[in-house]
Amino acid sequence: MSTQASRSAARVMLSPAVISLLIWMIVPLVLTLWFSFQRYNLLYPDRAGFVGFYNYTTFVASPDFIQAIINTLLLVAGVLLITVIGGILLALLIDQPIWGQGYVRILVIAPFFIMPPVAALVWKNMFMNPTNGLFAEAFKALGLTPFDFLGDAPLISIIIIVAWQWLPFATLILLTALQSLSSEEIEAAEMDGAPAHKRFWFIILPHLSRAITVVILIQTIFLLGVLVEILVTTNGGPGTASTTLTFLVYKQSILNSDVGKAAAGGVVAVILANIVAVFLMRAIGKNLDA
Amino acid sequence: MARAVTTRRKTLTTLAAWGIALLIFFPILWMILTSFKTEQDAVLSPPVWFWFDWTTENYVTVMDRANYFRFFMNSVIIAIGSTALGLLIAIPAAWSMAFVPGAKTKDLLMWMLSTKMMPGVAVLVPIYLIFIKLKLLDTHFGLIIVIMLINLPIIIWMLYTYFKEIPGEILEAARMDGATLRSEILYVLLPMAIPGIASTVLLNIILAWNEAFWTITLTTVDAAPLTKFISSFSSPQGLFYAKLSAASTMAIAPILIMGWFSQKQLVRGLTFGAVK
């Protein structure tokens, strides 16, 4: 159906997008790889040169690295656990016949539109602050000693903040998937006498499985890159208690000006992200055929 | 799943849903309430909920100092600039993939998506150095380019799924009637695609406005948007809770309103059409 002329026109129209994305992907990645084998500190520009795998060995061997990897996995797993389970329950609840469903949706989705620094600072100052945050007030009202959330449980506090930001996303997507489930199917099961928990496990959950996969994969991509929430609340601390891989690379490059080591960390981050990306692409690609 | 239920059950589920929804929304509500308090009322123990002396003084103070307006305008410039530039590149690309699909179209779409998976930190160093070299650090132009590029795959995908829904026969009919490629796009495709383009614009503005990784790392003062401004108050020097709340409320208000209007499209855009 398409003519030769429209084909070449199509190619011309595609090229700006393809070329710009190609440059955006290739140039920095090649440079990152290159820097990762160089001794390159912005503070000592004269001491430069090829150092082989030195940056990798020192980056990976440092105790900060192990801690950062563990923290990254805990952050991603913790937020996923809260948002997926919470999202399923919340979507099921909102999908019930209720008054003012539209308004409930609006309230639930709101945190997703809050820019990360605002979300993090509101939680840090007005909720988790041990002297006059709302949580401290609640503890005091119950006769307990206020708990220093960001000081004594920094990673868990950050997980709570990030989960609050992403719960709406999971809920909204699962709700959309839920609403595409035909009511006949549920009614038929109901008629056959299937109790609520069986309807959930054998009809609703299988129907949601694709949406759950997509939620998990997309969130993982974004969660691996969480930086600002850590930057404005704990700055990676105390010590390295809330330092993730992303934050560690940020610290090496922007704060320590150690380009070589930061680049090595960047390559590690690429590998980590790619493992997730492969699965995500497969899940989305499947849908493209349908 | 609309089914007949008893009023009693509906009342109970309504109460539960509203309760949880208000709990989730509460931090935002609390921030908005605090923005209307005096600094003394904001840290009162036990806290005051609604019965305090409401004041708009914080908003006035914030707008007076700290060049709030400049940060706000930088956010506007970056969000609108990157969206406009992104559309300029994405519309032709999505058009050609949707209406002149080739054998490689699917691979191309997947490849574009894969650029989105690249972690920002992995390329932070080279981008930072390139920006220094090209004198792009802390400029609108540099940020517009970067924000446009990170959102470009989403724009293309979203437009692609919308364009796909436009029946190709209409375009063919226009072609038969002798429409040139240019008029085909301008007078046939665009009017039908406007709703899709509008929601793409909305989502992209939201994403660009809230983007905090690159805007914070690549700006210092001149081109710094609200994300940078707000995060500079990680330790509350000078600006306290009430004023921080006022600044934050103004920073999120336009996006919150736009976001509420674009809920449905959000799902499609953020899942790359995988969930509709």
* C-alpha A48, offset from chain centre: 35
Residues of A in contact with B251 (CB under 8 A): 115, 118
What percent of chain B is modeled with pLDDT above 90?
25
Q: Residue B118's closest chain A neighbor by CA?
A: A270
Distances (CA, A) of A14 to A8, A9, B236, B256: 10, 9, 48, 33
Gap between the Cα atoms of A236 and A232, Å rounded: 9
Residue pLDDT, tens place only, B181-214 = 788 777 877 788 888 888 889 888 988 999 988 9
- In this complex, the residue of B14, B260, B267 whose CB is nearest that of residue A173 is B267
Interior CA angle at A72 toward A68 and A76, to 5°? 170
The alpha carbon of residue B119 is apart from the nearest alpha carbon of chain A, in Å, by 6
What pLDDT is attached to residue B276?
A: 62
A183 CB within 8 Å of a chain B CB: yes
**Mean pLDDT, rounded, for B205-226:** 89
Interior CA angle at A267 toward A265 and A270, to 5°? 115
Q: Residue A235's closest chain B neighbor by CA?
A: B234
Inter-residue contact B265 to A173 (CB < 8 Å): no
What pLDDT is attached to residue B1?
A: 45
Put simply, the answer to whether B24 touches A108 (Cβ < 8 Å) is: yes
What pLDDT is attached to residue A168?
A: 92
Band (pLDDT 50/70/90 cuts) for residue B179 is confident
Q: Tokens 């709700």 — which residue?
A: A175
Band (pLDDT 50/70/90 cuts) for residue A190 is confident
Residues in contact with B228: Cβ distance below 8 Å, sequence separation at least 6, in sequence order = B71, B215, B216, B219
What is the token pair recorded at A139? Answer: 């503890």
**Mean pLDDT, rounded, for A107-127:** 91
Residue pLDDT, tens place only, A232-263 = 888 887 888 889 988 988 888 877 788 888 88
Gap between the Cα atoms of B189 and B172, Å rounded: 11
Over chain A, what is the mean pLDDT?
A: 85
What pLDDT is attached to residue B3?
A: 53
Q: Which of A8, A37, A96 to mutate to test the interface with B (most CBs of B within 10 A)?
A: A96
What percent of chain A is modeled with pLDDT above 70?
97
What is the residue extent of each domain of chain B? Answer: 7-60, 65-270
**Mean pLDDT, rounded, for B151-179:** 83
The alpha carbon of residue B263 is apart from the nearest alpha carbon of chain A, in Å, by 8
Output the furthest CA–CA distance in chain B (Å, rounded). 75
Q: Is the pLDDT of residue B5 over 80?
A: no
The alpha carbon of residue B270 is apart from the nearest alpha carbon of chain A, in Å, by 8
Residue pLDDT, tens place only, B231-253 = 887 766 555 888 889 989 998 99
Band (pLDDT 50/70/90 cuts) for residue B20 is very high
Band (pLDDT 50/70/90 cuts) for residue A289 is low
Q: Using N-to-C axis directions, what is the helix angle for B190-210 and B140-164, rounded to 10°?
A: 140
Q: Domain B65-270's class?
A: mainly alpha
Q: Which of A225, A106, A114, A233 is nearest to B209 (CA)?
A: A114
User: Which chain B residues in 215-234 lie under 8 Å from chain A, judged by CB atoms?
Assistant: 216-217, 226-227, 230-231, 233-234
Q: Is the pLDDT of residue A24 over 70?
A: yes
List the single range of A39-53, A135-149, A210-224 with lowest mean pLDDT: A39-53
What pLDDT is attached to residue B24?
A: 94
Residues in contact with B75: Cβ distance below 8 Å, sequence separation at least 6, in sequence order = B209, B225, B226, B227, B251
List the single range of A87-91, A146-150, B147-151 with lowest mean pLDDT: A146-150
The alpha carbon of residue A176 is apart from the nearest alpha carbon of chain B, in Å, by 7
- In this complex, the residue of B21, B209, B267 whose CB is nearest that of residue A104 is B21
Put simply, the answer to whether A177 touches B24 (Cβ < 8 Å) is: no
Gap between the Cα atoms of B265 and B242, Å rounded: 34
Residues of B in contact with A32 (CB under 8 A): 122-123, 125-126
The alpha carbon of residue A13 is apart from the nearest alpha carbon of chain B, in Å, by 5
Q: Is the pLDDT of residue B88 over 90?
A: yes
Torsion of CA B81, B84, B90, B91, to 10 degrees: 180
A232 CB within 8 Å of a chain B CB: yes
Band (pLDDT 50/70/90 cuts) for residue B2 is very low
**Mean pLDDT, rounded, for A208-229:** 85
What pLDDT is attached to residue B80?
A: 95
Fold (topology level) of A18-289: MetI-like fold (1.10.3720)
Residue pLDDT, tens place only, A256-265 = 788 888 888 8
What pLDDT is attached to residue A1?
A: 47
Over chain B, what is the mean pLDDT?
A: 84
Q: Is the pLDDT of residue B128 over 90?
A: no
Distances (CA, A) of A180 to A184, A186, A195, A208, B25: 11, 12, 21, 10, 26
A40 CB within 8 Å of a chain B CB: no
Residue pLDDT, tens place only, A32-91 = 888 888 887 877 777 777 878 888 888 888 888 889 989 999 999 999 999 999 999 999
Put simply, the answer to whether A28 touches B260 (Cβ < 8 Å) is: no
Gap between the Cα atoms of A227 and A243, Å rounded: 9
Residue pLDDT, tens place only, A58-70 = 888 888 888 998 9
Residue pLDDT, tens place only, A86-115 = 999 999 998 888 888 888 988 998 999 999
The ipTM of this complex is: 0.85
Q: Tokens 């409930």 — which residue?
A: A104
Put simply, the answer to whether B252 touches A18 (Cβ < 8 Å) is: no
